[in-house]
Amino acid sequence: MFNRRLDLVNDTEVNGADADGSAAPAPGASGGRLTLGQGTAMYVGAVLGTGVIALPALAARAAGPASLLAWALLVVMSAPLAATFAALGARHPDAGGVSTYARLAFGERAAAVVGWCFYFAVPPGAAAAALFGGAYVAEAAGGGRTTVLLTAALLMAVVTAANAVGVQASGRLQFALAGLLVVLLLVSVGLSLPHAHTGNLTPFAPHGWTAIGSAAALLVWSFAGWEAITHLAAEFRRPARDLPRATGAAVAVVGVLYLLLAFAIIAVLGPGAADSPAPLGDLMASGLGGGARWLAAGAALLLTLGAMNAYYAGAAKLGSALGRDGALPAWLGRGSVAGEVPRRSLGANSTLSFACLAVVGLTDVGPKPLVLLTTGSFVTVYAIGVAAALRLLPRRTAGWYAAAVALVSVAALLLMSGRYLVWPLVVTGASLLYLRRRRAAASAPAEPGGTAEPQPAEAG
């Protein structure tokens, strides 16, 4: 399904003339340079992310060995969602990503809501991811909270610098990171499996079968990521061909790694997995000895860099597209064209990420609130994105059927998110208020007898 070539539409879409008549590149045209391998690596980094650092232990604590079924459910739910966004990205390769799909399907307001929910979810999410990576370094090197915060800040600086050079350099970095990460995780699992005991799988459901749902709810953080690369679709050399292929490869790689790692942690560590603050480090230590703490710290840094790199790249492109389309200040619009570097949008998003990290450092609230804010926002993005897919994708195609199945998964995620949807509701209100004020400012000078201050003329 993923490797099936999706034909580009020739009617009105983001790569043709938009509804407002603005010109855009011809359908199918791409000035991007991302290869299939680099795109796959971007996807693997975005989805695999920091979930494997702590979530296997949290899920095991909730459901015991039965949490393996929650992981399997996660992989199954990911496949149609990933296929949906791959189909959309192949047909509408634009820096706006899900925001563009929402605009084409539902109009400007929906596009602004989705864009804001994603763009302003990345800073708290990046700060949380950086703190997770910093915690592993502190476990190995000591230094406590100071080491955690300094490592987090360094991770943010490295990813910002990589994306400031350009998406091609970012893609090369991601390709190297993903390759090292996959090898490291496979070696860790392979060396630890001789220490596995089938007795650690019993009792299989110590907290009852309903606990599988609780474990699945904890894994929502790992569920995020399939939408991130849509903002880079136009950066692929051949989006219509390579994006679905990259998605299919990433689903396979991520699914295998998630299931292997979760099984190894439970079968090797046994009941102790539920109480481990660093389950990946303990797994490596079982096969390599106590010195594996440093190796675990290295793996955590690779995971964190990969996830942050993909999200920084996607958010930077999205911010420039929102500036181009009027959903954010026009000053951010530079860099929305394929091949350009959106440094202004990247700088704004990086600044917000450092601000979130500073709040954590000053208040010592920890990463949990950041995770919850991010999760609620991404679920909202998924819901609108899948609904847009059902309107935009041709009926009875593989992508349309994938979207119909994904809609059921997203509905379940909305139920799991509960009160954490308050934050995206606040962001939704702010985005609609911004649009209203922008329109009022644009129309005020044309009103007879208006008292608004004259607006500066646009350049050329």
For residues 141 and 448, which has the higher predicted lDDT (pLDDT)? 141
Q: Where are the alpha helices (DSSP H) in 64-107?
A: 67-91, 98-106
> What's the number of CA atoms in the CB half-sphere (13 Å) around residue 435?
17
- How far is it, in rounded angstroms, from Cα 341 to Cα 459? 21
pLDDT digits (tens, 9 = 90+) for 94-151: 767 788 889 899 988 898 898 898 889 889 888 888 888 888 888 777 778 888 899 9
Tell whether 10 is covered by a domain: no
Tell whether 82 is covered by a domain: yes
Q: Is 347 exposed, middle or buried (0-12, 13-18, 19+ CB in 10 A)?
A: middle
Please name the helix (run of DSSP H) or strand (run of DSSP E) that holds residue 175, with its range, or none.
helix 167-192
Region 417-435 average pLDDT: 86
What's 266's DSSP letter? Answer: H
Residue 392's alpha-carbon distances to 116, 326, 387, in angstroms, are 21, 22, 9
φ and ψ at 34, to 5 degrees? -65, 130
Tell whether 455 is covered by a domain: no
C-alpha dihedral sign at 358, 359, 360, 361: positive
Tell whether 309 is covered by a domain: yes
Position 423 pLDDT exceeds 60:
yes
Q: Given this model, what pLDDT does residue 3 score?
A: 39
Q: Given this model, what pLDDT does residue 171 score?
A: 56
pLDDT digits (tens, 9 = 90+) for 232-245: 677 777 777 777 88
For the chain, what is the domain count? 1
Q: How many helices (H) and strands (E) does the chain have?
A: 17, 0
Region 296-313 average pLDDT: 78
Q: Given this model, what pLDDT does residue 16 score?
A: 37
Tell whether 137 is covered by a domain: yes
Q: Given this model, what pLDDT does residue 157 score?
A: 92
Q: Is 23 exposed, middle or buried (0-12, 13-18, 19+ CB in 10 A)?
A: exposed
Tell whether 368 is covered by a domain: yes
Q: What's 428's domain CATH number?
A: 1.20.1740.10
Tell whether 256 is covered by a domain: yes
Please name the helix (run of DSSP H) or strand (run of DSSP E) that holds residue 355, with its range, or none.
helix 343-363
Contact 43, 86 (CB under 8 A): no
**Residue ranges with strand state E in 379-451:** none
Q: Given this model, what pLDDT does residue 46 score?
A: 67
Give the range of the structural domain holding residue 65, as residue numbers without chain letter.
36-439
Tell whether 345 is covered by a domain: yes
Full-model pTM: 0.71
